[in-house]
Amino acid sequence: MIDNKVLLKVNDLRKYFLVEKGILKKSVGTVKAVDDVSITIMEGETYGLVGESGCGKTTFGRCILRGIEPTSGEILLDIDNEPVDLNRLDKKELRATRRYAQMIFQDPYASLDPRMTVLDIVGEPLKINGIAKGQELKDMVIELVRIVGLEVKYLNRYPHAFSGGQRQRIGIARALATKPKLIIADEAVSALDVSVQAQILNLLQKLQQELGLTYLFISHDLSVIQHISDRVGVMYVGKLNEEGKTEVLFQSPAHPYTEALLSAIPKTNPEIKMDRIYLPGDVANPADPPSGCYFHPRCQYAKEICRKEEPAWKEIEPEHFVSCHFSGELKLRGV
């Protein structure tokens, strides 16, 4: 971390989708994909957001840049030392803030236009934001391509000519073009082979140090999250269950869902024996979540109160938050 300045503060973010039925599109319910989630990310920090598929983490990431329109909440991004609420901006104002925050996507092939060359793809944000044109633009693209470890001779090639890892490097170069402060990486290495994953993660860490970037890193893969994050938030059915510094959360989880996710991490050291906790059933349906604690139908520690009352979000030690009725009593296993 570089310093303790807040770069992004998200307050009570909600994204509800209406479930409609029939020709008249009658509203028959609400899917609470993101339900009252608040996080703060410091400048230079990497915040890892983890959870099973369908837990709302991708929707949350997209709502921050309003790729998906949030239902309510504040999204305060520090722009030139002023917190600007992205959720209050009109389309034109929002476009002007795009250069400060960018996304890297899971599938670099789908996110890169196959008809555009590397020069066009990486140069496009420079052109759109009026940052550079002509030879200056080309020089900037060459610099960006070098920074992400691609050879300049590939400038006039199209995405199909590259491997998955190289395409992700092009995506990163494009995201860096406007010199953003915040990068939201959504499953950015999930589609890559393990060895290529490591190269891209190392590249992201190197770029963070060199350029002072701040990351919101979204992934279902706890090994990846552990490798790259300073702090971690664990999401379940649209809500945060636990948040803490990476070492603390991985060594001493305080929520049974975090414990179960950690037990599924493949062990590299055969000496370490830890039984995997198999969670029964699937992630609860956000259109019809269980009563009380959403996790209770899958939780091996659930008691009567868990079915009736939603646990409060509380700080159990500095910077370690959890929502579980029995967080102080359970002896949970970390890694």
Residues that bind ligand SF4 (CB under 6 A): 255-256, 293, 295-296, 299, 301-302, 306, 311, 324-326
| Least distance from ligand SF4 to the Cβ atom of residue 301, Å | 4
| Least distance from ligand SF4 to the Cβ atom of residue 50, Å | 16
Alpha carbons 254 and 248: distance in angstroms, whole number: 10
Partners of residue 321 on adjacent β-strands: 243, 315
Partners of residue 185 on adjacent β-strands: 104, 217
Element (DSSP H or E) covering residue 195: helix 194-211
Cβ proximity to ligand SF4: between 76 and 299 the closer is 299
| Least distance from ligand SF4 to the Cβ atom of residue 229, Å | 22
Cβ proximity to ligand SF4: between 155 and 248 the closer is 248
| Least distance from ligand SF4 to the Cβ atom of residue 224, Å | 24
Cβ proximity to ligand SF4: between 160 and 331 the closer is 331
Sheet holding 231-236, edge to edge: 101-104, 182-186, 214-219, 46-50, 231-236, 239-245, 320-322, 314-317
| Least distance from ligand SF4 to the Cβ atom of residue 235, Å | 14
**Cβ contact 246:47 at 8 Å:** no
Cβ proximity to ligand SF4: between 178 and 252 the closer is 252
Cβ proximity to ligand SF4: between 250 and 326 the closer is 326
| Tokens at 32, concatenated | 């609470």
| Least distance from ligand SF4 to the Cβ atom of residue 309, Å | 8
Partners of residue 39 on adjacent β-strands: 10
Alpha carbons 215 and 296: distance in angstroms, whole number: 32
Strand pairing report for 214-219 and 182-186 = parallel
**Cβ contact 48:185 at 8 Å:** no
Alpha carbons 67 and 88: distance in angstroms, whole number: 14
Cβ proximity to ligand SF4: between 78 and 242 the closer is 242
Cβ proximity to ligand SF4: between 174 and 255 the closer is 255
| Least distance from ligand SF4 to the Cβ atom of residue 305, Å | 7
Closest CA to 177 of 134, 115, 127: 127
Strand pairing report for 182-186 and 26-42 = unpaired
